[in-house]
Structure 1
């Protein structure tokens, strides 16, 4: 019976050893994969920084600059719309007054010219 226990203990020890080796190898594989991914991430980040620097040097605006411009355009559009609503009522009244005022002096000028032309004859 002592032989059976020793044999079972040896088998259990071997199973634990094999299991621990598999866990160790899986950990090493995960670590290697993480290092590889980190390297890819780092090189990608470095590439993006270089591209952004090159674009900036030739005058291409950054995403933040474009977003700021969009925000400014929206603000100016809102201000323009607010200003555009107020003068439209005044503009509608002004052209009618201008048209009638423009016709009256023109009529006076033609009447003034006719007598002057008659005097010359």
Structure 2
């Protein structure tokens, strides 16, 4: 251990002071040498101990590193699973919205086709009415009336219906021929 030097007293003579200071200097040098030796030996001891226990420390560090790696890997997998779940939920939501939009568009398109069909049927009915063609309702009403009259008169409905059908067919053919002739006249009149 390093010891503290004592101060020489001022009463002593200079020779005694010189001798005392030389002895103190030698003593100081010896103390420094001893301290350096102790520090050197402590360093060698630490190095030796580190070599001896270095393998154990290295293994302990590897073990700690593996534990830390497992923890971080588990945390990363958990985050990935969480993100995957959110993405799946989002995809399901988008799919549901897309299906809803498709259903809405289909309903609107069906509605438009129904409107178009109704308009077409109305125009065809008007054209047939202008040509004098009876509607299905009018034919059904006529058939009922014929059936009633047949029952009242006791005649067979098939003969009456077939005669009426021939008469109706002739009327339609005659009307159609008249329409074609009128159309031809208009075309020739426009050309002139």
Q: Return the TM-score normalized by structure 2.
A: 0.39
Aligned length: 82
**Partner residue of 1:14?**
87
Runs of 4 or more, structure 1, over 6 Å off, are: none
Distance 1:29 1:72 in 2: 50
Distance 1:32 1:72 in 2: 47
**Partner residue of 1:56?**
129
**Partner residue of 2:97?**
24
- Determine whether 1:68 maps to 2:141: yes
Name the structure, 1 or 2, with higher relative contact order (CA <8 Å, separation 6+). 2
**Partner residue of 1:77?**
150
**Partner residue of 2:120?**
47
TM-superposed CA distance for 1:71, in Å, is 0.4
Q: Structure 1 stretches of 5 or more lacking a match?
A: 83-121
TM-superposed CA distance for 1:44, in Å, is 0.8
What per-residue deviation string (whole Å, max 9, x for no partner) do you get for residues 3-47 of structure 1?
Answer: 443332221111000111111112212222222222111101110
Once structures 1 and 2 are overlaid, which stretch shifts more, 29-38 or 69-78? 29-38
What per-residue deviation string (whole Å, max 9, x for no partner) do you get for residues 74-108 of structure 1?
Answer: 011111118xxxxxxxxxxxxxxxxxxxxxxxxxx
TM-superposed CA distance for 1:63, in Å, is 1.3
Q: Return the TM-score normalized by structure 1.
A: 0.60
* Alignment root-mean-square deviation, CA: 1.8
Q: Structure 2 stretches of 5 or more lacking a match?
A: 1-73, 156-192
Distance 2:81 2:147 in 1: 79
Max Rg structure: 2
